[in-house]
Structure 1
């Protein structure tokens, strides 16, 4: 019987059909089913397609039993996507999980017989426990210090260090939060003591305890190895020593392991990830089959050439570190798509000017027909996002902040799932897409997007994303694909996606850090803030750290399918000193003219003149001190001078903003920053015209929030 959504052509076996459409290297991956295999897969080369077809081919040819295959990847979203693809290929019984998910499942099952008693509670966040550990040692640690200490403890545990072995192994690492390594070791031990007292474990403990049980209990190890015979590990360049140890225990003495990775995309070494296991795979398995996937199906030749050139520039530099050069020869990608536009390089006067020109270019792309969901702005640090949020909001362009409110946590999505679940119990034979439209119409879905903006438009976009997902799944699994797709199937898919936070596509420009963009792709990508100190980041003070920053930029470049824009600014604030320089990584990549004024942008878009636009310096209206930050310029007052507004008015505006943000499901500062609220409170405008003259209140925000602001001022 053919799998749902996957039918064999007349006279063609199902196994042959599974291999159809794969290139020669992907076909080799998919058809080599026994023994160890190392797949070196460049960005955009179809690695997920190759390994899911490998599993499907193994199952349908009878070599694999689906229940005995374990596919492991690094994010819940990636695991959910892999399960979806496998279901579409008719092998839904295969386990596709993250390391932590697989280990937790085994721990929950084997804990009663291996340890006894109830499993300790699982700690979601370390902050409170670390704060308690610090108090026990009478150490002062603010929120930022606690965050840094949590990251350091996570690194230590995935590196399989204990409080006793930490200080020696961490010699040469930066001191987290300014604490010396001996103090960190003491806090590490205190953290473990607090967890013991509270009978809780953290996510690293899940892996450590599972490793301990498998090492010490032969019966448990034998049961796991009997259950799983074939392993696939994706993103193998990001495996940590602890994850590798767990994988070794799952395998035992066997070699049915397929690993997939790219050393040039190793960007998580700060978490303990290392490409060493990928690079040394053939030393451990000398008979391993090695396949290189270098045909890039994602990006245009122009984007691919830039990515290749970025990596090639590093190989020409002498290695100055101790020991052998850890930089492996990078894969050279070969573009398979037709030619596209050349990547652009833009130098801007300041951060606000850079954000404004990006918003203007995005508007042009939208008008040219590029969907908002296919556009992304990527930056090095999350702190850079606010300028782009404000620029997009002022331009009336919707956006979604990756890492912000989760899709399945939105009120309208929760309501939709309740109604869809209820309809599934009484559903007849009506096609799922139409039934979904009928159900969601009760919540505000319409075939045409509303003309209004704000919460109404955002609510519609959430519901439209669910409708689009129903269409997509019905096409892949329904009657047109030779299968049956019911409302019960749709609800089950939604519940699984909600558990894995595998959100459907929402219309809106994506704002994301370079790290969080790994594994994603868009038609148009804007790489912003590419100046020294941000790319590479200022604390990358070793050769190894700078190399990782280069790889991070490479990941950003390879997210783009067609349009790629790279930009940087010369100053932080309008009128500030132009003391920034473009990233060293752009040397030799950008046209010579991009370092001069011809490609610079002014505050309202790209200037075509030969002189950079300069804003006149602003001074505090109270003490006449030069204002140096955007927040100070907005209120016309330096931070040292007292505010000229009534606190009750300011708090009333903050209360209104909080309520509006909660209703819209967005961060409060996206509506108005505190600096803008302060300016409004001081000016107390009495009309929309007066409000429009205040900094931070653009046309889009005036239309969306103007009347609410005036009502709040009138009733404060």
Structure 2
């Protein structure tokens, strides 16, 4: 069966599309156009898929038809001559924006699926990655290769075709962000690519010039953003009408089944030629090269179009045709032919009446343009129409090439010709036509060749002898593949190990003193110095790997240190070094020797939510606010090494506790007893228990002192009293201790941390040698200068003058928004602008300049804020924009009920006596019986397998609410369990001891939204700091004393996260905690000298005004 198919379209859920894009409207217009198969478009959008499932039904072949009740409702709008069976295919376009091989890549891909079940699975997979609800064509920070992998895993019959492969900004080969070879994009999965979409700005002959594309079937689709644009490009088949048959024809390129394509005239595509739309410059590739790609009007690089890009990659001359070439037919939409004939716009009433009359009399648009004899057209529509179609079919057209986002123009007649035909016979006999004289549009003097009449090349005159030489980009790919990876640094010896260090770092690494303190400002290489010192000790045989202990404050920091040690020493030696967080180290000690103080080896570690549940069980009538105060008070006491039985110390450190509630002390004691009875330890109790153990049993302390002869501590300025006491115990007279940190980044005073331990280190250890790291490898010198000015205003400044050889003219930008919502919108707008646009809409709407030259990816941006409540407006703005983001510190995975139940089961497997967790499972007796069956094989099963089995058991007994989201969360837990193999205890401890920063995923191609506290230790090329206002930054809690110095240090930490660009923002009006407030600008902004600032503000709707570079801040 012969039929025509258009696979790539959109729904009304995509940006910049018609609101009339409904299933019924597509059904109607597809038949008017003459299509038998169309894509649904936008299959990844939940709202559109829901509508598809409501209105379409499977036909049993992998395709879908409109349900009868919906088809009947629209049937009267389709003229009888056009009516024919229509099938839908599940399809959708995905926008991938990510960084690869050192360059930001933006490419679009079309996905095809054979069933609703596959579509639901695919949606769920994408929603775990990014926002699929804001745009029918979702923007994902996902490598195109990984998207293909997801497609292949979704269903064996799922397929992916790269879309409009030559578009400059958003395509596989695009000049702005594409690749030079398909293999560079899809890597090992390239064999699964069998077809390529040419796009509107290229046609098959242009693609034939690249021999590497010979093995792919070239397809063409309309990429319609309105139903009327359907079939402007399409595909011709002669197969059975089924999903499998269509793709089998595409995979095999069988000329008897895939009959070729219907093409736009490529000159009409909006990126066919090079140029600058705003400057009126339109060039062919030769002219562009003559001008070295620089626009003579504005001096910026011109937008390189498809013709130019093809010329760069081509290894064949123009006119070459491979043996596999399929026929193609260039068409002009019927309304455009009628529009030119009538001398009025294509959407005018007169043109549409003529269009409807022709379809009613002759049949579908494609039949008129492709098949009907010219004589029949002349009889029905007049000589002008007949001659226009004849010229179109023979390629006798007048072309003005599109460029830089502006569609080109294809004309069939000169003005005088049209008037002549109209006078002779008119257009459409029976319909009166008033010809209006139209001024001939002049062609720019800069328009190059290609504007003249261009005949269709002979389709079936197979030419031989075409050059088959290997092109340049293929040679580069081969040579890259042959390059051996460089050996690790340490394998070349200690000298090479030290060679990567600067003099300050090298001096610290080589120091032979037993006790070191290293003051290291932000970005000066703290982790590098610490790990290189440890590696040097091992390499020079000054210490055995087992004698080294490194302690950090987060799992993320520990993982990074382990990874660096593996690079320096190799995995086997690095595995012998103990790198733990303080709390993980203490958990290890308690499992090894905790029995001496009554702590059983299989104790459980309770989460913050478990702590709250436990205290609530003990005091069910305790109000929420007081419950929180009690738990905070208990944490403070434990961090100050104060036991529940130490009444005097409690009164000393919490003098107000008894005034607020007489039973606080009793509550602390009851809480501790409840923990012991249930074989639980809380987060803060881990360190307190080990300090108690070492004090009570000096011989056990001695064991660990003998075991760990060299101790390294990261972020020493963040120690609290309990951690400080622990280190003082561990540091014996013969032990080596190296600590590193920055007192100006001490920001955890509210948790009991004190920078005083850093400042008094040399009093505690008089033999200590001090070093300073002052070279910054992260930020520009200007950012360092500005941040130093802020921190140097502290009451007791400790700040070192940092220096960097990274120079930039970019000042610290200070932006004032009228409202907090405008602040959020500005962040989104600026990110979109710096990305160079996230969609064609960004470019065409003027939101983004076409000549943006920065190559950014989503992961380059961080948006920081003082309070979690500030994230709501930002999150909403990102949601609306479709820009993918990760919000660090949002509801943790482990807070969801189904995850808590699975973890409770795992704790019960680990410790059957921990009956506290019985309350966290839905069916305690049934669950206990299930776990007893599992227990005999528990130790031999991988943790991920245990999670899977328990999840299956629990979910079968749960009421199915939001099942897909629960399933996604369980899959996330499974992924986190995989690295632990069979180490259940390690998995449970890591889970229990996770901090906010551990939720940050640096591999995610998303904008990061996080609190200033969570940002510590991270870096981003571009940083937005929002809420730079009094009462927010510095934060003034109601009824509490302002800790101005810690807030200043927090501001400093935020500023020094920025590598290249820093934007400090404030809103005149903000709604926070249920109140509308007008805050003055933060006092910290005044600390930055005017010469380092560039102030911007918003004036009126949508108008951004850049003020002079350094006005007084009073302008706010």
State the TM-score, normalizing by the size of structure 2.
0.43
Match of 1:134 among 607, 619, 625: 619
Instruction: Report matched runs for 1:491-640 at 5 Å.
Output: 503-539=1001-1037, 545-572=1043-1070, 579-589=1078-1088, 591=1090, 599-600=1097-1098, 604=1102, 606-607=1104-1105
In structure 1, C-alpha distance between the alignment counterparts of 2:894 and 2:650, rounded to whole Å: 42
The change in CA–CA distance for 1:314 and 1:33 in structure 2 (over 3 A counts) is same
Q: Which residue of 2 aligns with 1:678?
A: none
| Residue of structure 2 in register with 1:29 after alignment | 508
Map 1:316-715 → 2, pairs under 5 A: 327-367=796-836, 368-404=854-890, 503-539=1001-1037, 545-572=1043-1070, 579-589=1078-1088, 591=1090, 599-600=1097-1098, 604=1102, 606-607=1104-1105
**Preserved contact between residue 347 and residue 601 of structure 1 (Cα < 8 Å):** no
* Structure 2 residue 660 is the aligned partner of structure 1 residue 162: no
SS for the counterpart of 1:296 is: coil
Q: Does the 8 A contact of 2:786 with 2:1089 survive in 1?
A: no
Give 3-state SS (helix, strand or coil) of 1:572's partner.
strand
Once the two structures are TM-superposed, the CA of residue 31 in structure 1 deviates from its matched residue by 1.0
After the TM superposition, which residues 12-411 of structure 1 pair with which residues of structure 2 at under 5 Å, given as runs?
14-90=493-569, 91-92=573-574, 93-112=576-595, 115=598, 118-125=601-608, 126-135=611-620, 138=621, 140-142=622-624, 144-163=625-644, 164-170=647-653, 180=660, 182-315=662-795, 327-367=796-836, 368-404=854-890
Decide whether aligned partners of structure 1 residues 251 and 353 sit closer, same or farther in structure 2, where only a CA change above 3 A counts.
same
SS of structure 1 residue aligned to 2:619: helix
Q: Deviations over 1:334-370 (max 9, x none)?
A: 1231224111001111111111111111111221321
Residue by residue, what CA displacement relative to the aligned partner does 1:58-77 show, whole Å, maximum 9, x if unpaired?
Answer: 10011011111001111011
- Whether the 8 Å CA contact 1:124–1:202 is kept in 2: the answer is yes
Q: How many Å apart are 1:226 and its aligned residue? A: 1.5
Pair 1:224–1:588, CA change in 2 (3 A):
closer
CA separation in 2, counterparts of 1:504 and 1:578?
35
Q: Helix, strand or coil for the counterpart of 1:599?
A: strand
Q: Give, in whole Å, the separation in 2 of the partners of 1:592 and 1:566.
A: 15
C-alpha displacement of 1:588:
3.7
CA–CA distance in structure 2, aligned partners of residues 234 and 540 of structure 1: 34
**Change over 3 Å in CA distance of 1:523–1:540 after alignment to 2:** farther
331-340 or 100-109: bigger deviation: 331-340
- Whole-angstrom CA distance in 1 between matches of 2:486 and 2:545: 16
TM-superposed CA distance for 1:562, in Å, is 0.5
Instruction: Check conservation: 1:307, 1:558, Cα contact below 8 A.
Output: yes
Is contact 2:717-2:743 (8 Å) kept? yes
What residue number does 2:347 align with?
none
Q: Give secondary structure in 2 for the equivalent of 1:295.
A: coil
Return the offset for 1:204: 1.9
Q: Is this contact kept in 2: 1:526–1:566, CA < 8 A?
A: yes
Cα separation, 2, equivalents of 1:383 and 1:102: 34
DSSP 3-state at the match of 1:79: helix
The 1:492–1:216 alpha-carbon spacing in structure 2 relative to 1, beyond 3 Å, is: closer
Report if aligned partners of 1:167, 1:181 keep a CA contact under 8 Å in 2. Answer: no
Structure 1 distance, partners of 2:659, 2:1099, is: 43
Higher helix share: 1
Q: Rg larger in 1 or in 2?
A: 2
Shift of 1:540: 8.2
Separation in 1 of the partners of 2:888 and 2:862? 10
CA RMSD of aligned residues (A): 3.7
Q: Does structure 1 conserve the Cα–Cα contact (< 8 Å) formed by 2:791 and 2:1052?
A: yes
Q: Are the structure 2 counterparts of residues 489 and 346 from structure 1 closer, same or farther at C-alpha, using a change threshold of 3 Å?
A: closer
CA-CA distance at 1:255 after TM superposition: 4.4
Q: Tell me, what secondary structure is at the counterpart of 1:536?
A: coil
| Matched length | 515
C-alpha displacement of 1:4: 9.9
Partner SS for 1:571: strand
* Aligned-pair CA distance for 1:544: 7.0
**CA drift at 1:301:** 1.0
Conserved in 2, the CA contact under 8 Å of 1:155 and 1:270?
no
Structure 2: how far apart are the matches of 1:81 and 1:409? Answer: 26
- Three-state SS of the structure 1 residue aligned to 2:517 is strand
**Structure 1 171/286 Cα, relative in aligned 2: closer, same or farther at 3 Å?**
same
CA positional deviation for 1:5: 4.9
Following TM superposition, by how much is the alpha carbon of 1:230 offset from its aligned partner in structure 2, in angstroms?
0.3
Conservation of the 8 A alpha-carbon contact between 1:356 and 1:603: no
Whose RCO is larger (CA < 8 A, sep 6+)? Answer: 1
> CA 1:127 to 1:307, structure 2 compared with 1: closer, same or farther past 3 Å?
same
Q: Cα gap change, 1:578/1:87 in structure 2, threshold over 3 Å: closer, same or farther?
A: closer
Q: Report the CA distance between 1:181 and its aligned residue.
A: 6.7
Kept in 2, the 8 Å contact 1:40–1:290? The answer is yes
1:529, 1:569 within 8 Å by CA — same for their partners in 2?
yes
Instruction: Answer yes or no: is the 8 Å Cα contact 2:780–2:1060 preserved in 1.
Output: yes
Q: What's the counterpart of residue 660 of structure 1? A: none
Partners of 1:15 and 1:60 within 8 A in 2: yes
**Kept in 2: contact 1:372–1:508 (CA 8 A):** yes
Q: Secondary structure at the match of 2:543?
A: coil
CA distance in 2, matches of 1:270, 1:28: 35
Using the TM superposition, name which of 125-134 and 274-283 deviates more: 125-134
Instruction: Work out the CA distance in 2 between the residues paired with 1:184 and 1:604.
Output: 55
Q: In structure 1, how many angstroms separate the alpha carbons of the residues matched to 2:1038 and 2:798? A: 22
Tell me if the contact between 2:1036 and 2:1042 (Cα under 8 Å) persists in the aligned partners: no
